[in-house]
Amino acid sequence: ASFLLLCFRSPLIFGLLLQAPFTQLSSITQPNFVLLLADDLGIGDVGCYGNDTIRTPNIDRLAKEGVKLTQHIAAAPLCTPSRAAFLTGRYPIRSGMDAINNYRVIFWNAGSGGLPPNETTFAKILQQQGYSTGLIGKWHQGVNCESRNDHCHHPLKHGFDYFYGLPFTLISDCEPTETPEMDRAFRRKLLLSTQMIGLITLTAVLGRLTGLISVHWKILTCLAVFSFLFFISWYSSYGFVRYWNCIMMRNHEITEQPMVTDRTTSLILRESISFIERNKQKPFLLFLSFLHSHTPLLTTEKFLGKSRHSLYGDNVEEMDWMVGQVLDAIDKAGLKDTTLIYFASDHGGWLERQEGERQLGGWNGIYRGGKGMGGWEGGNRVPGIFRWPGVLPAGTVIDEPTSLMDIYPTVVHLAGGEVPQDRVMDGRDLLPLLRGTAAHSEHEFLFHYCGIHLHAVRWHQKDTGAVWKAHYVTPIFSPPGAGACYDRGVCPCFGEGVTHHDPPLLFELSQDPSEAKPLSADTEPLFDTVIRKIGRAIEEHRRTLSAVPEQLSVSNVVWKPWLQPCCGTFPFCWCDKEGEN
């Protein structure tokens, strides 16, 4: 009532401008939600964020018809922890989904780690509010805990009524013609060790046969058995990655093992449009978790060779076309004005992903660093676009710090639900900011983790508009002078591959978004004040953390045969039910 009174007292033109969107919001009690999340897409890969060589007309149309966020921040620079934060509205360290070691993501469908059952996703709350909830595409939050059919981490246990896609993630191992990607360096070491053990065994046998070496046959037999068992122990997992990890599921049923990559894109698009059509008479949540633009960059023939940026550009342009197909399906169903659409990427582009002279990872524009780097802006700043005609003002650009974790409270509140009160929530409701009724983001501090290690903190000084960022740990780029960890493939979070800074490196992002010129007490009068303020925020933040089981510990990450999803009788796991249909 007080708000309406204020409108009547305002100038007539101001009241007329505000009346339409507020009337729309009050008349839509439960809007539909379509959440579009790209994989490894750099902020510099999208036209509306400055790219003029990769064509993304449909994503650009979303920005033109909606709200574009310029400081949209992922909670982690890698898939598994970032998506855990997106689904739960909490930093991944709170759910145990950040790593204490170098295994920073879910590595196997047959691992026992994953999004804990006691975490409440936004899908679960919307399900309780009467929504039909669907996840199409990538999951990468684990599958089983104790047996291959308990599905304790499965999407259907986390609030989704329907799931079609990869329980794991897309990797180059899924494409038989591509160079294996998964744990590449470790596999080389295992193969080399196997060759060395085999060479020693063969040398000993030949020496015994020629009489040059006096070795008992029992010792040779034990050595041969050890060589064989060592080989089997690792080849049984790494030798069949395509069968163990590259599978497609519909709900709990495996439909392809291994996946047939030539038709994956068309199936994911078909399933997404079908979900919209099946549920257009009731409120729904569709989470379309793209496999684009993660390697091996599955791209249909229609788009191959069409972009100016080789296969990566082709792949991004195909994803944009898929976005357009989903938008057309929404329009065809008459749902455009009752559907909130969101587009983002789970983190920044992968700078180090190359094969020879081919660049297979994304571009992060003017921002330093990329995927895997806990603090640098290029690993965390991502596209963020919302469209809701009649409710959100079209063509709006918001330069305030926001987070992927903010999706949680935003959709929950719009659906009429309540965020959990029994745990710390890190996301903030974005609707007031998106609609222009709030001038500033509710985030004062955002914390940038690399695994469980805090690498950087940003402080939004709202009274001045300054955005300070302090780096306490940064990766050491290799080779020296490069802008990424090309010698390693992914930058580390700790150990000899990082530098600790005391005092921290300080940047003012509104003046230096590329983080090119660190400030000091000599060049910035507020340096000590800012560092103290951020230091106190870190202390307060750490007091809110509590010990939880580590989901990415070595014991949870390793391949366990008894947890392996299998279409058939293990270890003979193979099926193609899509082909049969």
Q: What is the DSSP string of 89-113?
A: TS-HHHHT-S-SSS--S---TT-S-
For position 50, what pLDDT does the model report?
Answer: 96
3-state secondary structure 476-488: CCECCCCCCECCC
Which phi and psi (to 5°) does residue 340 adopt?
Answer: -90, 120
Q: Tokens standing for 73?
A: 């921040």
Q: Check residue 549 and report its DSSP letter.
A: -
Q: What is the dihedral of CA 483, 486, 492, 498, to 10 degrees?
A: -50
Kindly report the pTM of this predicted structure.
Answer: 0.92
d(CA 420, CA 378): 32
Question: Is 79 designated active site?
Answer: yes
- Which stretch of DSSP H or E encloses residue 16? helix 12-27
HSE on the CB side for 276, CA within 13 Å? Answer: 26
Q: Identify the three-state secondary structure at position 273.
A: helix
SS3 content of the chain, % helix, strand, coil (to 5): 35, 20, 45
Q: Identify the three-state secondary structure at position 461.
A: strand
Q: Tokens standing for 458?
A: 């940003």
Other Cβ atoms closer than 10 A to 302: 10
- With vertex at residue 144, the alpha carbon angle to CA 142 and CA 146, rounded to the nearest 5 degrees, is 140
What average pLDDT does this structure show over 381-387?
98
Is the predicted pLDDT of residue 7 greater than 50, yes or no? Answer: no
Is the predicted pLDDT of residue 14 greater than 70, yes or no? Answer: no
User: What type of residue is 144?
Assistant: N
pLDDT digits (tens, 9 = 90+) for 235-294: 777 889 999 999 999 999 999 999 999 999 999 999 999 999 999 999 999 999 999 999
Residues 6+ apart with CB under 8 A from 222: none
For position 24, what pLDDT does the model report?
Answer: 52
pLDDT digits (tens, 9 = 90+) for 146-184: 999 999 999 999 999 999 999 999 999 999 888 888 776
For position 10, what pLDDT does the model report?
Answer: 40
pLDDT digits (tens, 9 = 90+) for 442-494: 999 999 999 999 999 999 999 999 999 999 999 999 998 899 999 999 999 99
Q: Tokens standing for 175?
A: 């494409």
Could you tell me if 284 and 275 are in contact, meaning their C-beta atoms sit under 8 angstroms apart? yes
pLDDT digits (tens, 9 = 90+) for 314-347: 999 999 999 999 999 999 999 999 999 999 999 9
For position 191, what pLDDT does the model report?
Answer: 77
Q: Tokens standing for 152?
A: 């304790």
pLDDT digits (tens, 9 = 90+) for 403-416: 999 999 999 999 99
pLDDT digits (tens, 9 = 90+) for 82-104: 999 999 999 999 999 999 999 99
Q: What percent of the chain has pLDDT over 90?
A: 82
d(CA 534, CA 358): 41
For position 43, what pLDDT does the model report?
Answer: 98
For position 8, what pLDDT does the model report?
Answer: 35
User: What type of residue is 179?
Assistant: T
Cα end-to-end span (Å), the chain: 58
d(CA 183, CA 204): 32
Q: Tokens standing for 63?
A: 């920005």
Cis ω for the linkage preceding 393 (within 30 of 0): no
Other Cβ atoms closer than 10 A to 523: 10
Which phi and psi (to 5°) does residue 398 adopt?
Answer: -115, 120
For position 193, what pLDDT does the model report?
Answer: 83
Q: Identify the three-state secondary structure at position 555.
A: helix
Is the predicted pLDDT of residue 514 greater than 80, yes or no? Answer: yes
Catalytic residue chosen out of the listed positions 7, 48, 79, 460: 79
Question: Are β-strands 572-573 and 575-576 bridged in parallel, bridged antiparallel, or unpaired?
Answer: unpaired
Residue 25 — very low, low, confident or very high, per pLDDT cuts 50/70/90?
low
Q: Which residue has the tokens 């009489």?
A: 211
What average pLDDT does this structure show over 289-307?
96
HSE on the CB side for 323, CA within 13 Å? Answer: 28
Residue 210 — very low, low, confident or very high, per pLDDT cuts 50/70/90?
confident
Residues 6+ apart with CB under 8 A from 190: 234, 238
Question: Is 566 designated active site?
Answer: no
Q: Which of 186, 123, 81 is nearest to 550 (CA)?
A: 81
d(CA 476, CA 484): 8
Residue 27 — very low, low, confident or very high, per pLDDT cuts 50/70/90?
low
Is the predicted pLDDT of residue 20 greater than 60, yes or no? Answer: no
Q: Identify the three-state secondary structure at position 413.
A: helix
Is the predicted pLDDT of residue 296 greater than 60, yes or no? Answer: yes
Catalytic residue chosen out of the listed positions 48, 72, 140, 216: 140
For position 59, what pLDDT does the model report?
Answer: 98
Is the predicted pLDDT of residue 521 greater than 60, yes or no? Answer: yes
